[in-house]
Structure 1
Amino acid sequence: MKNCLVIANSFKKDAESLASEISAFLKERSIKTSLFLYDGNKVRSQFLELDFSGYDFVVTLGGDGTVLFACRGCAPIGIPVFPVNLGEFGFLAAVSKNGWQEELDFFLRDKCYISSRSLVQCEVLRSGKTVFTCCGMNDCVISSCPSSHLVNLNVAYNHALLGPFKTNGIIVSTPTGSTAYSAAAGGPIVAPELSALVLTPVSSFSLSARPLVFGENGEIVITVMKSRSDVLLTCDGQIDFALSEGDVLILKIPQFHARLVCSTQEKFFSALQSKLNWSGGPRA
């Protein structure tokens, strides 16, 4: 470990001062650091993606949104992300701001657990040609714009038609993202280290529409049909792409994985209890 990128969320209090502390900590261990100030609004408006090549690991200072941004760039080249939580939920940012020194020292001594997380890859075909691609750590969402309107979508899995959906949208999430928008829409919570895709309809105009969980080897194909409203693809809630009638979206699990430091099963289930008030049942 010789080169580290520190990503500090510019909207989080104390993020820059903590970045200076971590840089000094790493400098004592002969590790060079670079600082990037993360601005979520700029990411959305400019499709901003960093070049993470040349770094051995990345430290994020912010909430889960900062981690999502880092993981999308780090996963394809296998760089681990050390996520310090300065946000609200902390499902992904599992390192507390008061305990980062001990955890980072364990990581540098190769004594820290690293979780491998699958992603969802989306390719948009228009008239048979690829016009957009993205990878989501949490999810890819196909939705109406405005969100209160209905859109018509045909959905298939491995060439088997699942049927037409008249809905506000469809969420295709990873197990990591199953605790995010998908859970809010009634989807199942999936253990984060499984390799699967969760398809969750949003306010479907049918009582029979239910979430579905698919294995790692298949493809979900969604075709945008004629609708009365605009249709939007959103990746991780951070990247938007306007869809057109006839567009075909191919969603699958890529071969590469995100690597999250200190994100243990114990911390995941603890977050379910403390953040989402999940109890599992009555207790004696």
Structure 2
Amino acid sequence: MRNGEPNPIPGRTLAHLREVVQLAANALPELLGLLKSPLVPLDYLKCPLSPNSRAEVQAARAHRPVLLHGWGPPGYSVSMAQVPEPALLQELAALSDTPYLSAHIDYNPDQDGELSPQGLLLRMRKSVEELRRLTGLEVLLENLPFVPWGKRPRYLSDPEYIREVLEATQTAFLLDLAHAQVAAYHRGEDLWVYLERMPLEQVIEIHASGPRLEERGLRDRHQALMAADYEVLEWAVHRTPRLKMLTLEYQGKNSAGEAGGPEVWLEQLERLDTLRHRLNRR
């Protein structure tokens, strides 16, 4: 350690990723149970932000390499003034064998202090630089949904601002399609036009899950993919030339109001596996 800080890990870049689209899914206990079968088509397991990150990454790594989407506390984004728990981040970056880190483009004035859009860009650039220094990994940044009653400002879901963020931080893009669907709905914009404005040429990973229409409008619920979601996904994968990772963010039995089960997992994974094999044969 230097001056009480963790030692940095030797660097890795996105260039080492395989030149094919790989498949990942949320590392939930019900999915880990299915991985006893060698027929489940998965290259990576994704561990999201969690207060139990160490145990969850350890459990997932016993089955597959892990995409480290967070390490705690829940709610971390690159808008925070300090990278929390740097020693835990380094530990899990090494344990997981993750090819990169990913984090949210988010901003909560109550938590992060009052920042202008340009001030937020500077904050995010500093945070990403610190993530790279600590881990030696490249960073992907993810779009988040917009709802008019939330604290997240509307401009964070502007495709043009997202492009500015990627340029300022020199990061690649993690495109969450459910988040984009929700944002377009509540911004009152046509989904296809909204998606076309996104920095699709910078996308390395896509998150796919099913949003649901509720009383207050479309919401991000991480439920099973439906026909409309597959249509959006099919559109997106053919417009993201740098795509390397397709991640199912289904939350299984944790998806409120819907029945899960092995057959729901397997049906989605098989469809995504078929899609990525078609992409890899191009």
State if a TM-score over 0.5 links the two structures: no
TM-score by length of 1: 0.28
**Rg comparison, structure with higher value:** 1
- Greater fraction helix: 2
- Greater fraction strand: 1
TM-score by length of 2: 0.28
